Structure formats: structure tokens, C-alpha cells
Amino acid sequence: MNAQPSTAPEPVPPYVRLQAVSKKFGDFLAVDAVSLEIRRGEIFCLLGGSGSGKTTLLRLLAGFETPSAGRIYIDGEDMSAVPPYERPVNMMFQSYALFPHMTVERNVAFGVEQEGLGRLEVRRRVEQILEIVQMSPYVGRKPHQLSGGQRQRVALARALAKRPKLLLLDEPLAALDRKLRERTQFELLNIQERLGVTFIVVTHDQGEAMTLATRMGVMDRGRIAQVGTPAQIYESPVNRFVADFIGSVNLMEGRVAARCDRDLTIRCEPFGCTVRAARCVECATGDTVWAAIRPEKIVLASEEMPDEALGDNRVRGKVREVAYMGDVSICLVEIDSGKTVRVTLPNRAGLAAQRDLRHAPVTLSWDAASPVILTR
């Protein structure tokens, strides 16, 4: 519904183009008229909760599902009648789907062998790609003799061995523990850059999407809610779903009280505060809108202000909870109206200072550039 391109259209045609693609399973509309363009060399992340249709979209691209409506073009070619084994696309499966009866070497060679290359060439390619993913010492192992991280590398190598122009990755890092996941993210970026492959990555992990993506698409109930760079999506979400899905956010419902050019005043009755935002949003005075403020953009001052000092973008409250996370602390502040506002504090002063905050009277304030005003 809102898949506008994030930048001006480029002269080069998009590498992957989805044209109003829908997929129905029985009565369930898994993918709902998705139109999307992905450029060559991009790392495009499809981000969404479970059941949002992101994996179905990936399977449509791989050819495991046929669209109920719409068309998919890869490199300008209509993929409607092209079976999976003839598509210039490879996929890395979430479960890795390594062949259990084959060694690492046989697994990686499988795809290359289908191209009818000579044995020497197959061998050379397999060696080369295993070198890149640093799995050369394990050529003779079977999948069940590998750790999760090693399997992930073999799966990646197997998908890359065919030198696809487009690689589809279904939750590529989901099965790895956190440390390994972080390291592998950077390795993926490195490999992508080296080989110049276009990546489409499905993930439910926003951190992963933020790190990997050049652009990302947030999916919600089969539709693409927003497409943009990670910064665009984080800083300027188009609706409450996106704002809430990416990172955490304080959403304050209110009415537009005054509006002039780049200056909006929103009266948030339930929160008992007035939000001023330096934003240009299409709305009229009296409209219901939502002010979205990221917890890290709120300044917490640990002194109680008198009533007359309060005003726009400034509220008074009491700290209810402090959750110490190490690098930051998350404070839940109950403001005068009784509502709770989430604030994150960088951990500059150490644990003791954060502890002292509990039940302390505080004043919250934020810059007029911080709130995002959402009409949906």
C-alpha cells in the first residue's frame, strides 16, 4: 500500500521486480499485492513478524510457490513459467537443508555439477568457495559432524558455488547463538561485497536487518508497510506498525492543536502533555495523530520542575522501574497523567547512579525534531 521507492528512480532497470504479486493458500492471503523493486548489488532485507508473508515472498522468488496473481521479473525476464531449477537464483534455507548423506564437498559440488562442467572445474569452484567461507579443513565431514555455525557456512557455500546473481537467504543466522551471529553478519557483508551478489534476506530480527540491509522492507500481514534504508525506516516510520515494530517507541495519541508550515502542536490529552514537532505532515487542525518518540531521544533530568516550568515537550514524572542492560538502562517513567513513558539512558555513570533513580521524581523533555507524527 505504501511501497514508494525511497529514492528517485535510477536509470538502470531494477534487477528484481515484483508486480502486484499475491499468494493465496486456501482462503489465507499470505502475500497481498506486493510490488517491489530491488537493484543489483543490494542487500535487501524483508523484515516482519511470523506470518507476515516474508518467507512466502522469498519462496515465490525461488520458484517453490507460484503467485496467485501478479508477475515476478528477474533481470528483466518474466519468471512465471520458469521452474526453480532454471532460475538464476539460489537460496539458503533456514534449516540449511544440507544433504545428510553427502560430505561437505559433495554438498557444495551438487549445484555446480548440475551445470555440466568438467570435474576439474567443479573441484576448483568447490575449493574456492570453501576457502572463502573458511570450511576447507572440513571437506570430508558429513553435515551431522558439523556445528551449527559450520553448517551455516556450508549452506552458504553451497548456495554461492553456483555463482548466482541473486541469493535468497531465509533467516540465515537464526540458528546461531548471539556472538556467532554478530560475527557471521559481518562475514556475510564481506562475502557479498567480494562476490557482488544481490542478497534478499528474510529475517524477523530487526538488529540483523539493520546491520545487513542497504534497504529493507517491513512486512505486515502480507503487505509491504514501508521500504527504505534502515535509517529512513527507523527515523521516519510511515505508520504506527512500522514505528512500533522497529525498535521501541512511545506512541502518544493526540489531536492537532495548531499547525503552521514546519511546526505542529499536538495536544496529547491522555498523556497530559503537549508535543511540538518540527515536522511537515499532511494533516489538519483537529485530526487525530500519534506522536512517536524513541526512548533514547528523551532527556531525563533528575529534578522536579515546578508547574510553571512545564510546557511543550516537557513532562514531569516518577521513575517506576530501571532495567539495567549493561550498555544502557531502560527507565519506565510514570508521568503525571498516570501513563508510562519509556526512556533509555546511556550508562555513563555506572550502575549505582542508575539504581538511585528508582522512585526519583524526574522531568522528561525532548527536542522538537525528535517526535515523528503519524497519521495512521
| 110 scored as a contact of other proteins (CB under 8 A) | yes
Interface mask toward other proteins for 131-170; x: CB under 8 A: -------------xxxxx---------xx--x--------
Torsion of CA 120, 122, 126, 132, to 10 degrees: 90
Q: Which stretch binds other proteins (CB under 8 A): 107-115, 201-209, 248-256, 291-299?
A: 107-115
| 198 scored as a contact of other proteins (CB under 8 A) | no
> Contact 40/53 with Cβ under 8 angstroms?
no
Q: Where are the beta strands (DSSP E) in the chain?
A: 16-25, 28-38, 43-48, 69-74, 77-78, 89-92, 166-170, 198-203, 215-220, 223-228, 250-260, 263-268, 273-277, 288-293, 298-301, 314-324, 328-335, 340-346, 361-366, 372-374
Q: Which is nearer to other proteins, 64 or 324 (CB)?
A: 64
Exactly one of 11, 100, 306, 326 binds other proteins (CB under 8 A); that residue is 100
| 118 scored as a contact of other proteins (CB under 8 A) | no
Q: Which is nearer to other proteins, 92 or 219 (CB)?
A: 92
| 26 scored as a contact of other proteins (CB under 8 A) | no
Exactly one of 64, 80, 288, 309 binds other proteins (CB under 8 A); that residue is 64
Query: Residue 95 CB, nearest distance to other proteins (Å)?
Result: 5
Q: Which is nearer to other proteins, 159 or 289 (CB)?
A: 159
The DSSP line for 69-129 is EEEEEETTEE-TT--GGGSSEEEE-TT----TTS-HHHHHHHHHHTTT--HHHHHHHHHHH
Please work out the total of residues on this chain that contact other proteins, with binding judged by CB under 8 A: 29
| 62 scored as a contact of other proteins (CB under 8 A) | yes
Cβ burial 251-288 (10 Å sphere, 16+ → b, else e): ebebebeebeeeebbbebeebebbbbbebebebeeeee
Query: Residue 166 CB, nearest distance to other proteins (Å)?
Result: 12
Exactly one of 25, 99, 186, 324 binds other proteins (CB under 8 A); that residue is 99
| 47 scored as a contact of other proteins (CB under 8 A) | no
Query: Residue 9 CB, nearest distance to other proteins (Å)?
Result: 31
| 285 scored as a contact of other proteins (CB under 8 A) | no
> Contact 168/58 with Cβ under 8 angstroms?
yes
Residue ranges in contact with other proteins by CB under 8 A: 62-64, 83-86, 89-91, 93, 95, 97-101, 110-111, 114-115, 144-148, 158-159, 162
